[in-house]
A and B are shown apart, each in its own frame.
Chain A
């Protein structure tokens, strides 16, 4: 168990290290002088003091006259001090602060959508595997759902429920007329705005996990321990229960592996609904050529995914007795 944990931690540390390195490398290896490129294109170009500040900032941060290893070390140093630069688009707010404001919305939207989609999808997939009739209907539907791009489902839901029926708002996290307070009105308004983006992520997740579970459980029902139970006259309910318990394990690993893709899709959904999480911020950063903000978003996304992955690994440790007893070195 210790080995398993240490191994995982090493992998994640390595991943983070690699990601930060990529983050550092890319601006330096792109054609042209990065500082000039940025400065000619920043949108605050009309503000003279801002330009000067920006220039100093870039010069210090990039330190292009220093040897490469020094630049690299400086980059890490700044990172550990929580210094991700200053946003040009929301000048002069530090990128970290901009991100800190966005993260709660992401957590509020993504965690329930992903977890509920996973849970209900698995339950439903296992259920669908029981009857041929249901299976014939659920399977094609689920395949269509997984083939649907996140933003398109978002757009369709926004259009139908927001415009055609007019029962849900299609932009923002809360109404313009309200100030964030701890009141019931505000909480309800928040939920009202939250629902459609949540639903569009949830539905797609649901479809994907339902297929996965359905295929997995059919495989498990053929497994030898299932055949033995059948040979000993066990009722179907026990065989199904065991099959589900076994099939859920690869689904947990699958969630960890697919998290990157899911998060990407969820971020795009935020764009559709102008939901003020990191995804929406990212679009603004790209449109305003705010490079520090883009890099900040990148690091936050990676950090978030890695942390979530680690949590899933811990859960796996609890659920699969084999890893707990240190009998299987690796599972993912």
Chain B
């Protein structure tokens, strides 16, 4: 009981966490309700005059083709959150599966899984994604999440393995083993709860990583073929001369949003780390 109130106390006092989650919340709200504030679809040619700077009619201006940047932006935000949540979530899940198994079983299972993790880690995953994406003619957002999740897990697996390793040798796990609990139950009932905080941190990092990967894929034209995304906005901006024509309203918002969201996630991560690890708290 005392412990819980202490965590709450530090949560409310931790600036890094508060600022981080505040920024995430703002963008999340924008992604959720933003699209209902504009009458234009992201790819509609809304303005007959082509590129226009921000105005009362087009809050963030229009693209070279006269599309509404605000509409693209808020819809792109949606895609960003979906990728972070699903791609990052899947990456965490696969990482948990492999990391827990390797760390808990040890021995030869660990050797093999660890070697496998290291191999996947060394391969530039983007290159693999690229080749898969290139051969698929129609790509959906869900597929992108799937690909990202299935290639992003090694970091999570490594971290979770190490942590499981150290927990495995603790007394309470021995006790559970002695009392004849099945390995899966031990992981679920004894190890996972003790790692909950750690898993949250891993998920946050995977969330941010997935967003950055998606931006890269989208930017080189291998993102979803049927949705707008922040990465795609930047690609169009670069390809259609936003730079030489100085159409900053086209390329500044998407990159800024990604930076702000990922930065906010990192900040939350550091903040939560301080809350979970009393050692890091400043006295």
Chains A and B touch each other in the complex, with CB atoms below 8 Å apart: yes
A302 contacts B124, C-beta separation under 8 Å: yes
The answer to whether the Cβ of B122 comes within 8 Å of any Cβ in the partner chain is yes
Q: Which residues of B contact A153 (CB under 8 A)?
A: 255
B221 contacts A159, C-beta separation under 8 Å: no
**B269 CB → nearest A CB, Å:** 9
A294 contacts B131, C-beta separation under 8 Å: yes
Q: Which residues of B contact A30 (CB under 8 A)?
A: 135-136
The answer to whether the Cβ of A173 comes within 8 Å of any Cβ in the partner chain is no
> In chain B, what residue has the closest Cβ to A29?
B135
**A241 CB → nearest B CB, Å:** 25
Task: Count A/B pairs, Cβ under 8 Å.
Answer: 157
**B267 CB → nearest A CB, Å:** 6
A264 contacts B216, C-beta separation under 8 Å: yes
**A168 CB → nearest B CB, Å:** 12
B131 contacts A264, C-beta separation under 8 Å: no
Task: Out of A14, A152, A163, A283, name the residue touching B243 (CB < 8 Å).
Answer: A163
Residues of chain A at the chain B interface (Cβ within 8 Å):
11-12, 14-15, 18-19, 22-23, 26-27, 30, 34, 37, 140, 143-144, 146-153, 155-156, 158-159, 162-164, 170, 256-257, 259-261, 263-265, 267-268, 271-272, 279, 282-283, 286-287, 291, 294-295, 297-298, 301-302, 305-306, 309, 332
B248 contacts A159, C-beta separation under 8 Å: yes
The answer to whether the Cβ of B153 comes within 8 Å of any Cβ in the partner chain is no
Task: Out of A23, A148, A279, A287, name the residue touching B259 (CB < 8 Å).
Answer: A148
Contact with A along B211-240 (1 / 0, CB 8 A): 010011001111000000001001001100
The answer to whether the Cβ of B132 comes within 8 Å of any Cβ in the partner chain is yes
Q: Which residues of A contact B220 (CB under 8 A)?
A: 267-268, 271, 279, 282-283, 286
B243 contacts A155, C-beta separation under 8 Å: yes
> In chain A, what residue has the closest Cβ to B119?
A15
A291 contacts B246, C-beta separation under 8 Å: no
B119 contacts A147, C-beta separation under 8 Å: no
CA distance A261 to B125 in the complex (A): 8
Given contacts A26-B135, A271-B220, contact A302 B123 (CB under 8 A): yes
Q: Which residues of A contact B260 (CB under 8 A)?
A: 147
A159 contacts B243, C-beta separation under 8 Å: yes
Q: Which residues of A contact B131 (CB under 8 A)?
A: 22-23, 26, 294-295, 298
Which of B122, B215, B248: most chain A CB closer than 10 A?
B122
A147 contacts B221, C-beta separation under 8 Å: no
> In chain B, what residue has the closest Cβ to A162?
B243
Task: Out of A146, A294, A305, name the residue touching B266 (CB < 8 Å).
Answer: A146
A11 contacts B115, C-beta separation under 8 Å: yes
A150 contacts B216, C-beta separation under 8 Å: yes
CA distance A231 to B123 in the complex (A): 45
Can you add 14 more A-B contacts, CB < 8 Å, to A23-B131, A26-B135?
Answer: A11-B119, A12-B122, A15-B119, A18-B123, A30-B135, A151-B238, A152-B256, A152-B258, A156-B255, A159-B243, A264-B216, A286-B221, A294-B134, A309-B122
Q: Which 6 A-B pairs have the closest CB atoms?
A: A152-B255, A260-B124, A264-B126, A147-B263, A147-B262, A30-B135
Q: Which residues of A contact B248 (CB under 8 A)?
A: 159
CA distance A263 to B121 in the complex (A): 13
Residues of chain B at the chain A interface (Cβ within 8 Å):
115, 118-119, 121-128, 130-132, 134-137, 208, 212, 215-216, 219-222, 231, 234, 237-238, 243-244, 246, 248, 251-252, 254-256, 258-263, 265-267, 270
> In chain B, what residue has the closest Cβ to A150?
B216
**B162 CB → nearest A CB, Å:** 13
**B140 CB → nearest A CB, Å:** 14
B255 contacts A148, C-beta separation under 8 Å: yes
> In chain A, what residue has the closest Cβ to B114?
A330
**A15 CB → nearest B CB, Å:** 5
> In chain A, what residue has the closest Cβ to B133?
A286
Q: Which residues of A contact B215 (CB under 8 A)?
A: 149, 151
Task: Out of B136, B216, B237, B263, name the residue touching A155 (CB < 8 Å).
Answer: B237
24 A-B pairs with CB atoms under 8 Å apart are: A15-B119, A22-B128, A30-B136, A143-B263, A144-B259, A147-B261, A147-B262, A149-B212, A149-B216, A150-B216, A151-B219, A155-B237, A156-B255, A163-B243, A163-B246, A257-B122, A261-B126, A286-B134, A286-B222, A297-B130, A301-B127, A302-B124, A305-B122, A309-B122
